[in-house]
């Protein structure tokens, strides 16, 4: 047996446990949810549960609301996080040191506690509202609104995303940047032709994680979101826990999985192209 074949078999043996774990905790539940979502009220199988997602006015509003909150949250998180990472990578001083020491703090605060703090701060009778009333300013509705969900998503996702992007930017050699400057490249050209392309893969990973985390979130949308429309995670809990419609809840869950799979497809496609180009 050749050495390459032995190494291939060793790699396969090492991958099998991870594949089996993934198969048991991910693939099988997804398949079971899909089968359950096809079951109709008469006991047969059809697509009536998925038809309900797009024909029911309330459910259609929930889907649109979820996509809107997810896209807006992802855009703001990625812009703020990348700007923060670039600032920490190419700047120095006390402010940069302070940001590096504090920007990870939200990760260590439990989601329920952080959400409760946002309610006390940004609610109609919260600290900020009472302070602004003293100077004659009325705080617009933030809590129990889509704005509250977006703010909570920023709190939860910016630190982790900034950490990922900071690691990618830290791996860019200073010699490459200095060489570009020596040949007359300006800051914008250095950023768009060197910095961003070299950190694009990590940027795509961060975008995937943020998208999947926001679209499937439950705690913040449940506590600070409006009663209607609702995020799909909250809607699925209501359908399953309140109305006891397991099949419809399974359809919502599988539809959410399909939405995440769209971004996952582009991520995997990008990785495959990159590996093909390297080989």
Query: What CATH superfamily classification does 58-112+141-278 receive?
Result: MetI-like (1.10.3720.10)
Mean pLDDT across the stretch 188-213?
Answer: 89
- The whole-angstrom separation of Cα 47 and Cα 24 is 26
pLDDT at 70: 95
Q: Phi and psi of 231, rounded to 5°?
A: -70, 155
pLDDT at 93: 86
pLDDT at 10: 80
- Evaluate if residue 59 carries a pLDDT over 90: yes
Give the range among 65-69, 72-76, 112-116 with minimum mean pLDDT. Answer: 112-116
pLDDT at 1: 60
- Evaluate if residue 29 carries a pLDDT over 80: yes
pLDDT band with cut points at 50, 70 and 90 for residue 279: low
- Evaluate if residue 245 carries a pLDDT over 70: yes
Mean pLDDT across the stretch 45-71?
Answer: 93
Mean pLDDT across the stretch 13-22?
Answer: 86
Give 145-154 pLDDT, tens digit per residue: 999 999 999 9
pLDDT at 277: 65
**194 close to 177: Cβ distance less than 8 angstroms:** yes
Q: Is the dihedral of CA 53, 58, 60, 66 positive or negative?
A: negative
Q: 244: phi > 0 → left, psi -120 to 50 → alpha, else beta; which?
A: left
pLDDT at 193: 87
Mean pLDDT across the stretch 38-45?
Answer: 86
- Evaluate if residue 15 carries a pLDDT over 90: no
Give the range among 12-21, 27-36, 115-124, 204-213 with minimum mean pLDDT. Answer: 12-21
pLDDT at 267: 77
Average pLDDT, the chain: 88
Give 101-159 pLDDT, tens digit per residue: 888 888 888 888 999 999 998 888 888 888 888 888 888 888 889 999 999 999 999 99
Give 217-226 pLDDT, tens digit per residue: 998 999 999 9
HEC string for the chain: CCHHHHHHHHHHHHHHHHHHHHHHHHHHHHHHHHHHHCECCCCCECCHHHHHHHHCHHHHHHHHHHHHHHHHHHHHHHHHHHHHHHHHHHCCCHHHHHHHHHCCHHHHCCHHHHHHHHHHHHCCCCHHHHHHHHCCCCCCCCCCCHHHHHHHHHHHHHHHHHHHHHHHHHCCCHHHHHHHHHCCCCHHHHHHHHHHHHHHHHHHHHHHHHHHHHHCCCHHHHHHCCCCCCCHHHHHHHHHHHCCCHHHHHHHHHHHHHHHHHHHHHHHHHHHHHHHHHC
- Evaluate if residue 64 carries a pLDDT over 90: yes
pLDDT band with cut points at 50, 70 and 90 for residue 50: very high
More confident residue, 66 or 5: 66
Inter-CA distances, 140 with 137, 152, 160, 224, Å:
9, 16, 29, 14
């Amino acid at each position: 047996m050749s050495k390459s074949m032995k190494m291939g078999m060793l790699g396969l043996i090492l991958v099998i446990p991870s594949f089996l774990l993934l198969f048991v905790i991910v693939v099988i539940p997804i398949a079971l949810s899909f089968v359950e979502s096809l079951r109709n009220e008469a006991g047969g199988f059809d697509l009536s549960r998925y038809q309900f997602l797009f024909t029911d006015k309330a459910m259609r509003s929930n889907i649109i609301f979820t996509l809107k909150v997810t896209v807006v949250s992802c855009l703001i998180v990625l812009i703020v996080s990348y700007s923060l990472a670039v600032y920490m990578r190419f700047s120095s001083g006390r402010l940069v040191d302070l940001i590096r020491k504090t920007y990870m703090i939200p990760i260590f605060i439990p989601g329920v506690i952080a959400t409760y703090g946002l309610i006390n701060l940004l609610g109609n009778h919260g600290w900020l509202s009472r302070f602004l009333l003293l100077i004659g300013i009325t705080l617009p509705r933030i809590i129990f609104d889509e704005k509250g969900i977006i703010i909570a998503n920023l709190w939860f996702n910016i630190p982790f995303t900034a950490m990922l992007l900071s690691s990618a930017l830290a791996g860019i050699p200073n010699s490459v940047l200095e060489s570009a400057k020596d040949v007359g490249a300006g800051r914008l050209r250095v950023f768009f032709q060197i910095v961003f392309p070299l950190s694009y893969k990590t940027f795509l990973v961060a975008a995937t994680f943020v998208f999947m985390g926001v679209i499937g979130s439950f705690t913040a949308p449940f506590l600070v979101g409006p009663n209607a429309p609702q995020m799909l995670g909250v809607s699925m809990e209501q359908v399953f826990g309140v109305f006891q419609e397991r099949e419809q809840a399974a359809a919502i869950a599988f539809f959410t999985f399909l939405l995440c799979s769209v971004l996952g497809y582009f991520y995997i496609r990008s990785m495959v192209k990159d590996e093909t180009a390297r080989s």
